[in-house]
């Protein structure tokens, strides 16, 4: 029995306030309580169960506000540790979006020209790698060609993507070997051919122009500007796992490669880890919407999102899907699948997984299932997103 109305009122007020606010899972700050959306949660859990994915992290923004964030499944299947929004995941080739943004930031700051030649006298990297004289195709590769994957070299159709060969090599040794021994069969700008080597070279450009290591430039000049603190470089082995990083689980042949990828050498093409909400901090800082400040001005944002003349589905480290009105990027490595989508309607989504279906099997149901899930989350108007912001 309460002894006075004043005590009753005070106690009720405390209970009311505790129910209305909680610590934000993304930032640790106070924010309105997020209500679960059963239809969303069921679809995520069904997808995970269907494809034997232990855990996932989801973040959704609407008009620049983080309206939904949640962990699903297990970060570690042995300990039973559940995934929370604070868990960090490898993002594989989604790292390319960070790399391209970093290059365009250097352009915006007047330190780099997107159409500058990369190799040879007067080039950004000059004669730093390989041995001059260089062939004509190599000499005509520009920074833009690298980011649009139209260098004419080092892709599946233009000499082979050799990013994982000679894993003990340093960057210097690797690029010396590539430039000396690998062909440059196509005129730069004439053919689209996706290549991790292109972005490895872009990482070296960032380092030379900025005077910082790749990861330090990403942390200090890109993520700090958007309030990000959780993006870092992936470690190679299980012992190298960072604080709040999930464990990774390979299916089929992937099980042999989950913890022997050539990290941190694969930095700019696929080496970053981050949280789902922090990935959206970057995405909403390059989305072109006025709801959150963009890190790039309109000129450089246009450059970032403009495809080459030979392939309209890929810009600078970002996929372009005009039929669906989305920008996107997908990342895939043994034990990892990551993705984001930005829709023209103001919706953005990030989904990070700690496993994938073995790509040597029929992975199409998994790949397209994840894509359809992302499209549903940005397009389905039946979801009642709350008017909250958990960034």
Q: Give the model confidence (pLDDT) of 233-284 as tens digits.
A: 999 999 999 999 999 999 999 999 999 999 999 999 999 999 999 999 999 9
pLDDT of residue 217: 98
To the nearest whole percent, how much of the chain has pLDDT over 70?
92
Determine the length of the chain.
391
DSSP-derived secondary structure for 118-134: -BSTTSSSBTSSS-SSP
Residue 326 near residue 305, CB atoms below 8 Å: no
Question: Which residues lie across from 233 on neighbouring strands?
Answer: 272
Give, in order, the Cα–Cα distances in Å from 143 to each of 124, 200, 303: 9, 12, 12
Q: Can you tell me the distance from the alpha carbon of 320 to that of 313, in angstroms, rounded to the nearest whole number?
A: 5
pLDDT of residue 17: 34
Question: Which residues lie across from 90 on neighbouring strands?
Answer: 273
165-189 tens-digit pLDDT? 999 999 999 999 999 999 999 999 9
pLDDT of residue 15: 33
Place of tokens 């700690």: 354
pLDDT of residue 31: 52
Give, in order, the Cα–Cα distances in Å from 366 to each of 54, 137, 247, 348: 14, 38, 20, 21
Domains of the chain (ranges; CATH) run: 23-282+308-379 (3.40.710.10)
The alpha carbon of residue 136 and the mean position of all alpha carbons in its chain are separated, in whole angstroms, by 33
SS (H, E, C) 140-179: CCEHHHHHCCCCCCCCCCCCCCCCCCCCCCCHHHHHHHHH
Helix (H, G, I), strand (E, B) or coil at 38: helix
Below-50 pLDDT ranges, the chain = 1-24, 27-30
pTM (two decimals): 0.92
CA angle (213, 218, 222) in 5-degree steps: 140
CA atoms lying within 13 Å on the CB side of residue 30: 5
pLDDT of residue 26: 53
pLDDT of residue 55: 98
pLDDT of residue 16: 33
DSSP-derived secondary structure for 100-122: HHHHHHHHHTTS--TT-B-BSTT
Task: Give me the numbers of helices (H) and strands (E) for the chain, helices first please.
Answer: 12, 14
């Amino acid at each position: 029995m309460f002894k006075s109305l004043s005590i009753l009122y005070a106690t009720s007020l405390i209970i009311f306030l505790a129910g209305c606010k909680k610590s934000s899972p993304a930032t640790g700050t106070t924010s309105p309580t997020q209500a679960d959306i059963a239809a969303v949660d069921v679809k995520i859990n069904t997808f995970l169960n269907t494809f034997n994915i232990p855990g996932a992290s989801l973040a959704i923004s609407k008009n620049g506000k983080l309206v939904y964030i949640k962990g699903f499944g297990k970060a570690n299947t042995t300990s039973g540790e559940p995934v929370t929004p604070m868990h960090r995941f490898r993002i594989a080739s989604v790292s390319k979006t960070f790399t391209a943004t970093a290059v365009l930031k250097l352009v915006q700051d007047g330190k780099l020209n997107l159409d500058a030649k990369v190799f040879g006298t007067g080039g950004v990297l000059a004669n730093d790698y390989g041995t001059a004289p260089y062939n004509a195709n190599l000499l005509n590769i520009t920074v833009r060609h690298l980011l649009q994957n139209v260098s004419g070299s080092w892709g599946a159709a233009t000499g082979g993507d050799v990013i994982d060969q000679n894993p003990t090599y340093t960057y210097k040794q690797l690029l010396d070997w590539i430039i000396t021994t690998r062909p440059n069969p196509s005129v730069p700008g004439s053919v689209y051919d996706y290549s991790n080597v292109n972005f490895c070279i872009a990482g070296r450009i960032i380092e030379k122009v900025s005077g910082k290591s790749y990861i330090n430039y990403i942390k200090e000049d890109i993520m700090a500007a958007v309030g990000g603190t959780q993006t870092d470089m992936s470690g190679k082995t299980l012992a190298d796992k960072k604080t709040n990083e999930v464990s990774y689980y390979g299916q089929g042949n992937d099980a042999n490669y989950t913890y022997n990828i050539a990290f941190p050498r694969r930095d700019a093409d696929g080496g970053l880890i981050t949280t789902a909400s922090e990935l959206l901090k970057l995405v909403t800082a390059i989305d072109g919407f006025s709801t959150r400040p963009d890190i790039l001005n309109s000129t450089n944002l246009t450059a970032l999102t403009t495809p080459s003349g030979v392939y309209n589905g890929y810009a600078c480290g970002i996929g372009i899907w005009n039929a669906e009105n989305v920008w996107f990027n997908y990342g895939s490595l043994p034990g990892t699948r990551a993705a984001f989508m930005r829709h023209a309607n103001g919706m953005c989504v990030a989904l990070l997984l700690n496993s994938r279906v073995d790509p040597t099997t029929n992975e199409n149901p998994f790949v397209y299932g994840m894509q359809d899930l992302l499209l549903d989350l940005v397009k389905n108007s039946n979801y009642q997103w709350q008017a909250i912001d958990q960034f």
